[in-house]
Structure 1
């Protein structure tokens, strides 16, 4: 039986209509197109386009594909999962009783997202800065004054550089077309083969960039993986690394030198606020190029479909790590050649999220840690095993996900090691494409675990794992009764 295939764009579930009038009109006007010109490019009638712009007609999956062809990456804002994400985040922010005394009705929230997505995004950015300021304020007081309190201290309101870069990548749906295609073209030109990449890239750096690659026995106590001597044009890479690891470091350095113009163009378009954020973005884009070179888009996507997204098989075939495969799967969002839209996350044993990327409506917590009921945390109790879970978010969206521990570093008894758990998942509608869902009744999966984006923004009132009440919700204290639910609060949802 042939492997299941994915649609080129996230399908619109039966019975649900997607209206994009205001967003389509705005993009059309930004491109200085008339309705007639847009209709011609889409291959539609003028009246059809007019009806869409006036929300008199929803867009179909076929029209979504045509919009993606006309508007490219900007068409991501038409995707239903983007609406879901904005709606979930807006609902969470406006449920903060410190902002509003009464909740905003759901239909009104939906209209705000549909008709003014830029204003919604701006409001969410301001709300996140507000939360970060509060968090930094509290941490500063604790650090300087302990339990004695202290005067109000001022702190920066801009997001930390890594958060700003991460959010920008998410807005791009983790896909950077210019770099991805350049990496794919280079991989084909060099005929890169798993297990034999390092030699080809070493020669490329020498011939095209004048950079000598030196295999270094040891790189210091900090576990350095790459060190470039700019003045001597010499790149040091530890000899103990595998062929794939050495190739990745060489490809990163190649991107920083040979693809710098393309990288700077992407960074300039992002309008980052400070030099540190821009520098971190440059590094992230160089890593993106390296990953795309190691796992060229079309070849990797074809193989992923052939083995039904079996991550361990893909890691063996391309001779890369489990995490590298997961990371690449989360970037397969090329218009017209999309893979299964997935989220990817990496957490440590304390629950800190060090990587998070999503082409789905999955709502990651930005503050206060991830939901403890998410199976990615349980992975630490069963190292090396792949765990599966069907989870439901508070808005009713269901996801199928897997989780497994990974280890980095090592090589000796006293060598430094890093232990993480990685999670990968998709909306339940796409789960049939993943080998890990075999045997699961996707029409009525059991069990379904009710999870949330994180305790600080989760509305579930009956969760026994809640670590603290949601921000801004008034607590309900009942001294005459007690239960497993640690915090009771007004306005929560019971599931």
Structure 2
């Protein structure tokens, strides 16, 4: 056993028993000076002393366990990490000292952290239930994360940035970009207008697929990118070079709270411009309508992937030429939502734990296959969703792939315009699968997949413990 200094824990045990140092030393058959040195962390707490404590007081030695300390350290690091603007950062050494010598204080801090997190989740859930993603005054007092601010900015614009869309369409025509072969025209524009040379860089598991060195004028694109991905990265770099002032103006005027949020907004706007440049609005909308929004056929025609097509379809909201108002979402196997865009009223859950009956999760069981679903929300609205997995290999053998489920949805009244509604009885109210935004805000009491009751409810377990039924808490 390594040297373990736990003087504060031993002193607390002594005080709980109402004993003096002399009395405790006598009970443990130790000298008073030796016990004093242990309590002052001048000597370690050894195994023989621990065994004496167990024999005399019947105290579980796990109270002095390194495992307990390790759990406290892990919890404290999570609770105290990533809290910018909330005081001086707490070092790992300080966390270790707290866990080792004042475990009760550490547990109290963890309980407070858990209470704060649950309170914020309840506020998020209540805000989602009443259709307000930003929440009321109590929730608004909590500063949202930078990427959430940016998402809200795009949501407020109905996921359509007219200034960038119109500029991208005009420039695509000027530069004679051909559908499916846009990278050739983009590379030509980079070279002729900006002196930028395209080079390859080894693709690694982490890091950006695009790196630009303004000093040398070299744009390095990761090996292994598909032609459509290469075109998108070139278009993104052109966004910064050609549209820099406009990107900054839009980011500065978005009402964001800080520099990090504005920087993320600028990147998001550049990506938006890139998509609009590779998939020009009028031409892409015309093709989408002619092909009944067939995502695979659109991908083949314009030389881009499934996710890129879905994302672009969710932006077609030009007032004089609107496409179907879509919702776009990307999740991983754990249910983490990494992308969500909505051109209309649909609100995605911001608190995790979205509905397991949603086809966005069924897609993982059928990789590479489009999975359609008619779904109905608790408010009675029905939607047509299509979902498919997309995978990205970041390296060679032994390197884990990134796999996501990408889903595109629309109100059922638009479903006849989509090829994916073929064979579905859109008029039968029994056909849609009942789903919700997550158990914490879903009111479907009889759902077979319910994990826990909604906010403000508790559980009624039957005598066989085979099911539970939510019921209102008495007030």
TM-score for the superposition, normalised by structure 2: 0.69
Match of 1:124 among 124, 129, 135: 135
Match of 1:451 among 432, 435, 454: 435
Deviation at 1:258, TM superposition (A): 1.4
C-alpha change, 1:272 and 1:324, in structure 2 (3 Å) is same
Deviation at 1:123, TM superposition (A): 6.8
Name the residue aligned to 2:170. 185
Deviation at 1:169, TM superposition (A): 0.6
Asked whether the equivalents of residues 128 and 349 of structure 2 are also in contact (C-alpha less than 8 Å), the reply is no
Name the residue aligned to 1:298. 282
* Distance in 2 (alpha carbons) for counterparts of 1:479 and 1:363: 34
Match of 2:250 among 266, 283, 296: 266
Q: Alpha-carbon deviations, 1:370-399, whole Å to 9, x = none?
A: 111111101101111111111111111111
Residues 1:477 and 2:466 aligned together = no
* Distance in 2 (alpha carbons) for counterparts of 1:277 and 1:194: 33
Deviation at 1:216, TM superposition (A): 1.5
Larger radius of gyration: 2
C-alpha change, 1:445 and 1:477, in structure 2 (3 Å) is closer
Match of 2:159 among 174, 180, 183: 174
Q: How many residues align?
A: 353
Name the residue aligned to 1:417. 401
Residues 1:249 and 2:260 aligned together = no
Q: Alpha-carbon deviations, 1:422-442, whole Å to 9, x = none?
A: 111111111000000011121
SS of the residue corresponding to residue 298 of structure 1 reads helix
Residues 1:352 and 2:336 aligned together = yes
Deviation at 1:353, TM superposition (A): 0.8
Name the residue aligned to 1:139. none
TM-score for the superposition, normalised by structure 1: 0.67
C-alpha change, 1:446 and 1:312, in structure 2 (3 Å) is farther
Name the residue aligned to 2:448. 464
**Alignment RMSD (CA, Å):** 2.6
Name the residue aligned to 1:489. 471
Residues 1:396 and 2:410 aligned together = no
* Distance in 1 (alpha carbons) for counterparts of 2:283 and 2:123: 39
SS of the residue corresponding to residue 421 of structure 1 reads strand
SS of the residue corresponding to residue 374 of structure 2 reads strand
C-alpha change, 1:395 and 1:91, in structure 2 (3 Å) is farther
Asked whether the equivalents of residues 206 and 394 of structure 2 are also in contact (C-alpha less than 8 Å), the reply is no
Point out which structure has higher relative CO (alpha carbons under 8 A, 6+ apart). Answer: 1
* Distance in 1 (alpha carbons) for counterparts of 2:223 and 2:128: 54
SS of the residue corresponding to residue 472 of structure 2 reads coil
Counterparts of 1:34-183 in structure 2 under 5 Å?
93=126, 124=135, 126=137, 128-129=139-140, 157-183=142-168
Name the residue aligned to 1:216. 200
Asked whether the equivalents of residues 331 and 337 of structure 2 are also in contact (C-alpha less than 8 Å), the reply is yes
Name the residue aligned to 2:36. none
Name the residue aligned to 1:22. none
* Distance in 2 (alpha carbons) for counterparts of 1:185 and 1:267: 22
* Distance in 2 (alpha carbons) for counterparts of 1:122 and 1:448: 25
Please identify, of 447-456 and 286-295, the stretch whose mean Cα deviation from structure 2 is larger. Answer: 447-456
C-alpha change, 1:351 and 1:127, in structure 2 (3 Å) is farther
Name the residue aligned to 1:362. 346
C-alpha change, 1:268 and 1:121, in structure 2 (3 Å) is farther
* Distance in 2 (alpha carbons) for counterparts of 1:214 and 1:322: 25
